[in-house]
Amino acid sequence: MTAGSSLDKDLSDETIVEMIHFLRPLWNVEAIARVASGTDLVASVDVQASNGPLTTVLKVTTADHVAPETARAEPRILSFVGRETSIPVPTVYGYCDEHAEYPTPFYLMSHVQGANYEGRVRSLSKTARTEVLHEAGQNLAKLHMLGPLHKTGRIGVVDGELTVLDTAEFPAYDSFHEWLLASYEDNVDTLASGGYFPDLADDKARFADLVPSLQQYLRETVPELPTSQPSTYCHNDY
């Protein structure tokens, strides 16, 4: 099975145990707790490893939101970043790109203590919010230092290696400006039919009349932006 198979994210405990044993045959699974949020299956798994008890996290690509070639990059990026920088990322214990019986890709990583403040950011003090933003900016800067890359585009996996993809779905670009324009044009195009989540739109055509003028503005403006530095690694959500 592969990502995009629209498989239900609620895999059985037995299947999760089998997937853990596929990656770590000598570990004994003691408890499984599924994470309710998110699109893919994520489970906190307590295991007994050779060096003692561990809390781990299994992530399985079970939704249609991420293509397999980009989902396969996630554990490799985590390992790369953990090896080359001081950014605090989980330790990857193993991953599987393809399997005849289990949904793929999936991988196992260490559990990192923390709290999810989505929707509750204002409950943090101003000092705490400033600290979070400062630390996030420092980590992003460290990520940028891992480049430059030979092309601009989506990071994925080809022949088992991290690379900038160059496919029909994820084309590569010679310059940041070309990528930025194509990316923004795609975003604006979605406004004609309700955005990225049309099922949530009260009026799918609400902004449709703005699309031509916005596209024209992008074509005139983006090429005139200052020349950028060579492309490098970046977390797109930033």
Helix (H, G, I), strand (E, B) or coil at 136: helix
Radius of gyration in angstroms for the set of CA atoms belonging to the chain, rounded to a whole number: 21
Which segments within 41-192 are labelled E, that is strand? 41-49, 52-60, 92-96, 106-110, 155-158, 161-164
Percent of the chain beyond pLDDT 90? 76
pTM of the model: 0.84
Tell me whether the omega of the peptide bond preceding residue 198 falls within 30 degrees of 0, making it cis: no
172 in Cβ contact with 149 (< 8 Å): no
pLDDT, the chain, mean: 91
Kindly tell me if the per-residue pLDDT of 47 is higher than 50: yes
Token pair for 88: 């605090």
- Phi then psi dihedrals of residue 164, to 5 deg: -80, 120
How high is the pLDDT of residue 196? 82
Point out which residues pair with 110 in neighbouring strands: 56
Domains of the chain and any CATH numbers = 13-110 (3.30.200.20), 149-224 (no CATH)
Of the pLDDT bands very low, low, confident and very high (cuts 50, 70, 90), residue 54 is very high
187-195 — which CB contacts under 8 Å span 24+ positions? 188/214, 188/215, 188/218, 189/215
Q: Which residue has the higher pLDDT, 98 or 198?
A: 98
102 in Cβ contact with 15 (< 8 Å): yes
Residue type for position 197: F
- Structural element, H or E, at residue 29: strand 28-34
Q: DSSP letters of 75-110?
A: HHHHHHHHHHS----PPEEEEES--SSS-SSEEEEE
Of the pLDDT bands very low, low, confident and very high (cuts 50, 70, 90), residue 209 is very high
Let me know how long the chain is: 238
Q: What is the pLDDT of residues 1-46, one digit of tens each?
A: 444 344 456 799 999 999 999 999 999 999 999 998 888 999 999 9
How high is the pLDDT of residue 118? 81
How high is the pLDDT of residue 195? 87
* Cβ-based burial of 85 (10 A; exposed 0-12, middle 13-18, buried ≥19): middle
Contacts of 57 (CB under 8 A, 6+ apart): 42, 43, 44, 45, 90, 108, 109, 110, 111
